[in-house]
Structure 1
Amino acid sequence: MRIVSACSPFIAVLVATALVVTPAAAEVILARYAVSLVGFRIGEASAHGAVSAAAYRVALDARLTGLAEWLAHMRIALASSGEIRRGNVLPNAYATTAATSRDTRTVRMALEAGNVRAVDISPPLEDESIRIPVSSAEKHNVLDPTSALIMAVPAGEPLVGPSACDRTLPIYDGVVRFDLTMTYTSTREVSVDGYKGPVSVCAVRYKPIAGHRYDSRSTRFMAQNHDIEVWLAPIARAHVVIPFHIGLRTMAGMAYVDAVELHLEPSGRTLKADR
């Protein structure tokens, strides 16, 4: 199980890479990603959904492949939905199930415009007593990991450049509360099946807030990690950006999530947020 433990911070970020969405003249997104660690392909993720200027829904399926699958048999599925209001992403529901050959855990979270109302974890965590408690205040104005990857850009600002990157994402996954602070560094041209054009390159820093273990070595590693980068692709109709590439140093070496297919198509439908 060494691969699973060494990659756990990376898997958390991969889970956050669930970019699929559905909302008012929605833009349909169909994406596939390849996951690699120290040069070896270890997994893949597929996403589908849609996003508009008013609402979104998201679904993602990720799994280990090849030798990593033989050793760990890990699969993750998640879904998220919410509203986009005045340039703010406001989640209303989040659910994820992570399964290995040994066990399965499901987390469900109900929110109201980004404020957590209820969390259900099944089976319950066995190590809750050795984790830093998450206060009620730390559960307000948050994003779940999936919603965090739908980044609204202020009206009138370009979708490529500093306005795409410069932000802090307050994330809560039902267990751990942390911030991701992003800073624009450059622009690149990319080309994959379905998308060819510019992406914004952002440096990312991880700041633990609560919910992690008091003695967590991986949390200390991530807090000191200067090798986290994300490239953001624009979605013009909804005026948002989504991840195209993630690079992350893990305790096992550099890991990458790369889009190998990214299709953006107008749906012709109007999406309303679930309540």
Structure 2
Amino acid sequence: MLRSSLALFASLAVALPTAAFAATPQSFKGEYTVSILGLSVAKATFSSSYEGDTYSIDGSVSSAGLATIFDDTRGTVSSKGKISGKQLQPQAFRADYKSGEKASMIDIQFANGTVIATKVVPAPKKRNPKNWIPLGASHLASVLDPMAATVIHADSLDKVCGRTVKLYDGEMRANLTLTYYSKGSISVRGYKGETVTCRLGFEPVAGYRKNRKALKYLKDRSRIMVTFAPVGQTGVYAPIHATVSTKIGTLTVSAERFEATE
């Protein structure tokens, strides 16, 4: 449960404040917590830097609180690429994590927005073709890694939602559909102001087992809400809060810090 929570946490929360088209280097930092049933189960810190049309993001994620008794998971993630038009165009993504004594790694390489190589350690188990939805070449074009997928470039808060994001996490391709829900405000270290909340629809596309109960629940029954905040005057919006309903309770991701460091 914790490993899947950490993966979902990373997918929702790693998008840090982005200074698009920065003429001079700019850096930002975000600190997040994830909790379920009111209990903290994970923490993460991410630092990002932007210069011209390039970006890089580095972070660490670890289990926390009572969760460390049952599953001590720690890891690092990184993403780098270019800013093309109103989107990030990843060049490389890597996640290394260790759960107990078991080490795992995901490495994805891109060229012009298309995945050209993926390495997963340990290697995935042999798939049953009867219930496996395979990835095709078309599934790996114009996709974003889990870090770049949550950064939204828009003209205003009103235009953050109403879009579909193509996500590739090293195994599965999924579409994340953002639908407008409400506006509000929030105050955390580094930011106080307006927000917009989108309801997120999850649709697995390929690279998954079609009878997997967890994915079916996310697709058909889970209520996923993501709140975005503007990053200065850059025209970029990043997640500052999110909730995901699960079979055992609501998973909550919250930013405790959301600010520029330079």
Cα displacement string for residues 177-230 of structure 1 (whole angstroms, at most 9, x for unaligned residues): 101000122111111111111111111110011111232110111111341000
Of all paired residues, the percent bearing the same amino acid is 25
Provide the secondary structure at the position in 2 that maps to 1:25.
Answer: strand
Q: Structure 1 residue runs of 4+, over 3 Å off?
A: 20-24, 127-131
Cα contact 1:50–1:56 (8 A) shared by 2: yes
Residues 245 and 26 (structure 1 numbering): CA distance in 2 closer, same or farther, change over 3 Å? farther
Cα displacement string for residues 22-73 of structure 1 (whole angstroms, at most 9, x for unaligned residues): 8633442111111100111111111111346723211121111121011001
Q: How does 1:117-128 map to 2 (within 5 A)?
A: 117-128=116-127
Cα distance in 2 for residues equivalent to 1:124 and 1:241? 35
Provide the secondary structure at the position in 2 that maps to 1:165.
Answer: coil
Residues 92 and 133 (structure 1 numbering): CA distance in 2 closer, same or farther, change over 3 Å? same
Provide the secondary structure at the position in 2 that maps to 1:124.
Answer: coil
Residue equivalent to 2:48: 49
Aligned length: 256
Cα displacement string for residues 104-141 of structure 1 (whole angstroms, at most 9, x for unaligned residues): 11011110132001111122112444642111100000
Residue 178 (structure 2) pairs with residue 182 (structure 1): yes
Which amino acid in structure 2 is aligned with residue 195 of structure 1? Y
Provide the secondary structure at the position in 1 that maps to 2:66.
Answer: helix
Cα distance in 1 for residues equivalent to 2:41 and 2:219? 24
Residue equivalent to 1:217: 213
Which amino acid in structure 2 is aligned with residue 32 of structure 1? E
TM-score (norm 1): 0.87
1:164 deviates by 1.4
Residue equivalent to 2:223: 227
Structure 1's unaligned 5+ residue stretches are 268-275
Cα distance in 2 for residues equivalent to 1:247 and 1:58? 23
Residue 8 (structure 2) pairs with residue 13 (structure 1): yes
Q: How does 1:123-162 map to 2 (within 5 A)?
A: 123-129=122-128, 131-153=132-154, 157-158=155-156, 160-161=157-158
Cα contact 1:190–1:196 (8 A) shared by 2: yes
Cα distance in 2 for residues equivalent to 1:104 and 1:119? 17
Provide the secondary structure at the position in 1 that maps to 2:10.
Answer: helix
Aligned CA-pair RMSD = 1.9
Structure 2's unaligned 5+ residue stretches are none
Which amino acid in structure 2 is aligned with residue 144 of structure 1? D
Residue equivalent to 1:246: 242
Cα distance in 1 for residues equivalent to 2:68 and 2:187? 29
Which amino acid in structure 2 is aligned with residue 94 of structure 1? F
Cα contact 1:80–1:93 (8 A) shared by 2: yes
Provide the secondary structure at the position in 1 that maps to 2:133.
Answer: coil
Cα distance in 2 for residues equivalent to 1:64 and 1:246? 18
Residue equivalent to 2:194: 198
Cα distance in 1 for residues equivalent to 2:160 and 2:25? 20
Cα distance in 1 for residues equivalent to 2:34 and 2:52? 30
1:246 deviates by 1.0
Cα contact 1:79–1:95 (8 A) shared by 2: yes
Residue 166 (structure 2) pairs with residue 170 (structure 1): yes
Provide the secondary structure at the position in 1 that maps to 2:216.
Answer: helix
